[in-house]
Every structure is written in C-alpha cells, then in structure tokens.
Amino acid sequence: MTSPRRTFAIISHPDAGKTTLTEKLLYVGGAIHLAGEVKARGANRRARSDWMKIEQQRGISVTSSVMTFEKDGVTFNLLDTPGHEDFSEDTYRTLTAVDSAVMVIDAARGIEAQTRKLFEVCRLRSVPIITFVNKVDREGRSPFELLDEIADVLALDVTPMNWPIGMGGEFEGIMDLKSGAISRPEGDSRVFTGKTDATPLSDRFAEEVELAQGGYADFDAEAYRHGDLTPVYFGSALKDFGPAELIRALADFAPPPRPQPAEPAPISPEEKEVTGFIFKVQANMDPQHRDRIAFMRLCSGVFKRGMKLTPTGHGKPIAVHSPILFFAQDREIADEAFPGDIIGIPNHGTLRVGDTLSEKADVRFTGLPNFAPEILRRVQLKDPTKTKQLRKALDDMAEEGVTQVFYPEIGSNWIIGVVGQLQLDVLLSRLDAEYKVAAALEPAPFDTARWVSAADAGELKTFMDQNRSAMAKDRDGNPVFLAKSAWEVNYVADRYPKVSFAATRER
Ligand code: G4P
C-alpha cells in the first residue's frame, strides 16, 4: 500500500516569504535539518552550471525544482515556482502538474500582481488554494481587511481557520478558531516552540475573534476542493507560526492526485497503465552536454525503473533506466513512483514539454497551455550564414518552453516572445554558449500575441488577409496575430466578432 500523495506548489509575489516558508515546510517535514539549507543548497547546485550564472547574478532561481518529503504517512511533492518578477512559462506550466496550491501573501501588502496572475492560472484548472497570510509578527493590515481583499479580488469565499491575536509589536499569538488554543511566541526572538494555552482573551480580542467566527462561511472541504473557497491561515513563517498547520491542512483537506484531462478520455490515477506528461524540460546543467532532464508528472499506474514508455505521437518507446526523484536532501534514483509523483527523465532532447508518456500509445494529455507572451523581440542575426543554426536554436528553445518563436508572414526577422525579461537573457546566453550563434534582440513593433481561430475558415482567411502585416505562425504553424497593445487586441476583436483571439493555446 502506497502512502497518499499531496502534490502542490506555493504561489506568491516576490518577498512575501515563499523561500522562508519552503524551508520551514521541509524542516517540519523532516527533509532538512536546519532552516537555511534550501538557499545554500540552491547556491551550490547553481554553481555547477554555467549559463545559470544569470541566476547567481540576479540571485534568483530560473528553474523550478521539486522537493519531496514525508510526514505522518503522507508523501508531499512540493513543486517550486520561481517567484521573481522575471518568471517564465515554466512557472505557469508547473501549476498544471499540481493538485493544489498554497498562496502566500504578505500581511502588510495583501494580494500583489504576481500572486494574482498565478492565481488566475490556478483558477483556469480549478486548482484549490490554501491561503497563508504571512508576517503577522510585523505590523500589517487588519485581518478583516485582508480577508475582504482576498474575497473581492479573487472572487472566492474565505474561511479564517485561525486568528492573529494582535500583529507587529502587539503580537501575542495565533488562536485556532476551532479549538480555541492559542500558540504563543516565546523568548526574545518571539518564536513558536510549541507552547499553547487557552487563557481568556482581553475584551478587545475576544470581540474580534467573535466577529471572525461569526462573520465568514464555515469551512467546506467540498467547496475548497472545487476551487470556490479558500481556508485562510495567519502566521509567520520566520517565527514558525503556521508551517506545521499548513502541512496538516494539506494532509487533511488538499486533494490527492486527480484524474487528468486527456484524449480520448480523462485518466484516473487508479488506472493500471503507467501514464504521465512532461511539464518542464531543463537543459544544459552543463553547456557541453546535450543532456536534458524532462520533468514528468505521473498520472496513473506504478512506475518502475527500467520501464519502457512511449511518447505519444513521436518516437519509439524509451526505457527509463535512471529516473530521478527529487528528495530535498539529494537527488535519488527512483525505483518506484506513484501517481502524483514527479520523475526526472534524462534524455538527449527527445522529450518535449507537453508530451504524453505511456505504456499504451493511444492517450494524450491535454490542457498544457502556451501563454501569450508579454514581451516580444525581433531577433537580429549578426552572422547571416548562421540562419539554419538560429532556426534550430529557436525551435529547440520553443520546444523546451524557454521562449516562443513566431515567423512573420511578411519580412524575414523572426520574433521571439517570452513572459518574463529573464528569458531573454537566458536565450542570448544559450545561443552563444550552446549554438555558437551571435544574435541581438531589438524591440519589435508588437506588444503581445493572440492565437486566432474561427469556426468558418473563410472568416479566418479574410481576417488574416486584411491584417497580413501583423500575422505570423508559431512553431507548429498555427496562425498568430501580433498586436501593438492589449487595446488593439480588443479593438480588432470587436471588428471581427467571428474570429476568436486566445491568450493561451493548448499544446
Ligand atoms: P520570497 O521567497 O517570497 O521572495 O521571500 P523570502 O522568504 O526570501 O522572504 C523575504 C523577506 O521577508 C526576507 O527578509 C525574510 O526573512 C522575510 N520574512 C519571511 N517571512 C517572514 C515572517 O514571517 N516575518 C517577518 N518579519 N519576515 C519574514 P530579507 O531581509 O529580505 O532577507 P533575509 O536576509 O532576512 O533572508
């Protein structure tokens, strides 16, 4: 009998405390012995790779990683989503591989831009969310105000599960609203070491807690799992208030691996056949090697080392001899993995983002999206004899999901699109180091892109003919409209009501 799985990600805006919380979750989960090791280990790991110099310079992690730990008989797979402003499509796509998410917000700042974007991706796939309001040991906004903001901005029902007794200098602990037990800060550093009590509250806080208990919907696990309600925990990752409760909440409420959308029919985790999909490909840990690691989310069956899996639609079966499981301490060679687990599969570029791998060849997971780029650049080749290499490089990187590439109908300059600035640096540095192509990026006269389609082929053709200078094809030959602004997208959409303009495209 295998242990239950909880595969989740943490979504947040930079600085809200995701790294701190990750460390504490791993610590509570017994995966690391000292808080602080995540960063150090990250730095060590990064030092190994060359193009990841960018990561070091910027002090951020470009690539998502996977951390597995076990607590009280439950196996947790925490998928890291880079939280910097320069986040990429990887960040979005990682959310297609999880069953739930923890949303961390800063008690002083509330919902910030990036949290909201990531939240929208979760909503697209009805990924249920547990909210953690962090940093209550500092001055923050009133809990009522924060709850209202979450409810309004995200259009979710909210249920506070605990309540901060004061914040900042007045912080006296966190009350569990069900049991009434109060977790208390201790010592000079005011951390939580496990001391709880149930002493009566002062009038002011008693009143607040009463309002909190009466003023919100009761927790409804079903509504949470549907993505309609979020339980809210207040705490301080830094001072150890919250991490243990979050792990318990994930174990008690978060969904186990869910059936995944697929053709011809959704795949249930109970199915015997091994299936999974690639949501991320990480290349060039060492630029001298063509090795890549494809990250597969296992969706059904029990995976065993050495098993042969076939990528749907292309290629022969591949034998997976050295799969990697990502324990927080070390990368371990996996002998077995279960639905919800993530496996790293070393390969030489055969596996692409969006691929389905299975024992039987006739299923295909759907719904792994491409996202409309938010930054577009023209690629200018410095040495015109390298056109072929450039095309190969751009196609490779589009396959990996690093960048998207668009081939305009008119003109010869290819356009690349990314969702975060950092991807541009990664692109240039890899073109140079790996493909020996010197290129420059110049501003493109476009700001965003939409995949266009229409039920009536004639309508689509009319639109494309009338907007030829803004039309391009993506790597797979799908028509894309390049727009100068979001405003232009709306304007054109109004004029061509029979054409649809999509900001995401399923791969
Ligand atoms: P991120 O990964 O979401 O970007 O955030 P990170 O955990 O790095 O935290 C950002 C800053 O907020 C850090 O301070 C961290 O110590 C602090 N922080 C995180 N959780 C809490 C909390 O519960 N209470 C308080 N008071 N602070 C918290 P820093 O000074 O930027 O970095 P550091 O040098 O202390 O690591």
Kindly report the three-state secondary structure assignment for every residue of 163-217: EEECCHHHCCEEEECCCCCEEEEECCCCEEEEEEECCCCCHHHHHHHHHHHHHCC
Helix, coil or strand: residue 213: helix
Quote ipTM for the complex. 0.97
262-365 belongs to CATH 3.40.50.300: yes
Which residue from 237, 233, 234, 240 is spatially nearest to 191, judged by alpha carbons? 240
- Tell me the mean pLDDT in the region 489-493: 91
Tell whether ligand 1 has an atom less than 6 A from the beta carbon of residue 237: yes
Cβ(357)–Cβ(310) under 8 Å? yes
Which residue from 392, 403, 76 is spatially nearest to 256, judged by alpha carbons? 76
Q: Compute, in angstroms, the gap from residue 91 CA to the centroid of ligand 1.
A: 21
- Tell me the mean pLDDT in the region 133-140: 97
Q: Compute, in angstroms, the gap from residue 21 CA to the centroid of ligand 1.
A: 9
**Residue 314, marked binder:** no
- Tell me the mean pLDDT in the region 38-51: 39
Q: What backbone torsions phi and psi does residue 86 show, to the nearest 5 degrees?
A: -85, 40
Pocket test for ligand 1, best of 15, 39, 171 (most atoms within 8 A of CB): 15
Q: How far is CA 244 from the centre of its chain?
A: 22
Helix, coil or strand: residue 481: strand
- Tokens 């030829």 belong to residue: 468
Tell whether ligand 1 has an atom less than 6 A from the beta carbon of residue 454: no
Q: Cis omega (within 30 of 0) on the bond before 369?
A: no
293: Cβ contacts below 8 Å, ≥ 6 apart:
281, 282, 283, 285, 324, 344, 345, 346, 347
Tell whether ligand 1 has an atom less than 6 A from the beta carbon of residue 138: yes
Q: Where are the beta strands (DSSP E) in 217-269?
A: 229-234, 262-263
Q: Of all helices (H) and strands (E), which one includes residue 417?
A: strand 415-418
**Residue 134, marked binder:** yes
Cβ(79)–Cβ(98) under 8 Å? yes
pTM for the complete prediction?
0.80
Tell whether ligand 1 has an atom less than 6 A from the beta carbon of residue 13: no
Q: Taking all residues of the chain, what is their mean pLDDT, rounded to a whole number?
A: 85
What tokens does 19 get? Answer: 């790294």
Residue with CA closest to ligand 1 atom 25: 135
- Tokens 């990682």 belong to residue: 94
DSSP character for 80?
P
Q: What is the spatial order of strands in the sheet that 162-165 belongs to? A: 162-165, 173-176, 182-186, 191-197
Please, which pLDDT band fits residue 326 given cuts at 50, 70 and 90? low
Instruction: Answer whether residue 51 shows pLDDT above 50.
Output: no
DSSP character for 2?
P
- Tell me the mean pLDDT in the region 388-415: 86
Q: Compute, in angstroms, the gap from residue 61 CA to the centroid of ligand 1.
A: 16
Cβ(396)–Cβ(349) under 8 Å? yes
Exposure of 325 in the CB half-sphere (CA atoms within 13 A): 20
Residue boundaries of the structural domains of the chain: 9-253, 262-365, 369-506
pLDDT at 494: 93
Q: Compute, in angstroms, the gap from residue 240 CA to the centroid of ligand 1.
A: 13
Tell whether ligand 1 has an atom less than 6 A from the beta carbon of residue 99: no
Tell whether ligand 1 has an atom less than 6 A from the beta carbon of residue 61: no
**Residue 243, marked binder:** no
Q: Compute, in angstroms, the gap from residue 150 CA to the centroid of ligand 1.
A: 21
Q: pLDDT digit string (tens) for 60-87?
A: 333 446 888 889 999 999 997 765 554 5
Q: Compute, in angstroms, the gap from residue 17 CA to the centroid of ligand 1.
A: 5
Supply angle C-alpha 80, 86, 89, rounded to 5. Answer: 60
Please, which pLDDT band fits residue 47 given cuts at 50, 70 and 90? very low
> For the structural domain made of 369-506, what CATH number should be given?
3.30.70.3280
Q: Compute, in angstroms, the gap from residue 218 CA to the centroid of ligand 1.
A: 31
**Residue 137, marked binder:** yes
Q: Compute, in angstroms, the gap from residue 479 CA to the centroid of ligand 1.
A: 44
Cβ(102)–Cβ(30) under 8 Å? no
Q: Which homologous superfamily is 9-253 in?
A: P-loop containing nucleotide triphosphate hydrolases (3.40.50.300)
Helix, coil or strand: residue 297: strand
196: Cβ contacts below 8 Å, ≥ 6 apart:
181, 182, 183, 184
What tokens does 479 get? Answer: 């028509």
Q: pLDDT digit string (tens) for 342-370?
A: 988 888 778 888 889 999 767 888 877 66
Tell whether ligand 1 has an atom less than 6 A from the beta carbon of residue 134: yes
CA dist 51 and 425 (Å) reads: 10
- Evaluate whether 9-253 and 262-365 have a shared fold: yes
Pocket test for ligand 1, best of 10, 18, 20, 103 (most atoms within 8 A of CB): 20
Atom of ligand 1 nearest to the CA of 236: 23
Q: Strand 229-234 relative to strand 157-160: parallel, antiparallel, unpaired?
A: parallel
Cβ(231)–Cβ(159) under 8 Å? yes
99: Cβ contacts below 8 Å, ≥ 6 apart:
5, 6, 7, 8, 127, 128, 254, 255, 256, 257, 258, 340
Helix, coil or strand: residue 480: strand
Give, rounded to a whole angstrom, the gap between the first and last alpha carbons of the chain.
35
Q: Where are the beta strands (DSSP E) in 61-179?
A: 66-71, 74-79, 100-106, 129-134, 157-160, 162-165, 173-176
CA dist 377 and 442 (Å) reads: 6
CA dist 434 and 23 (Å) reads: 34
- Tell me the mean pLDDT in the region 252-280: 93
Instruction: Answer whether residue 137 shows pLDDT above 50.
Output: yes
Look up residue 188 and give its amino acid.
D
Cβ(365)–Cβ(356) under 8 Å? yes
Tell whether ligand 1 has an atom less than 6 A from the beta carbon of residue 14: yes
Q: pLDDT digit string (tens) for 78-132?
A: 997 765 554 567 777 889 899 999 999 999 999 998 898 889 889 878 899 999 9
Tell whether ligand 1 has an atom less than 6 A from the beta carbon of residue 19: yes
- Tokens 């001899």 belong to residue: 321
Instruction: Answer whether residue 417 shows pLDDT above 70.
Output: yes
Residue with CA closest to ligand 1 atom 14: 15
Pocket test for ligand 1, best of 238, 239, 241, 245 (most atoms within 8 A of CB): 238
Q: Of all helices (H) and strands (E), which one includes residue 29?
A: none
Tell whether ligand 1 has an atom less than 6 A from the beta carbon of residue 65: no
Q: Where are the beta strands (DSSP E) in 292-414?
A: 292-300, 303-304, 308-311, 318-319, 324-326, 331-333, 336-337, 342-347, 356-358, 364-365, 369-371, 375-381, 404-408
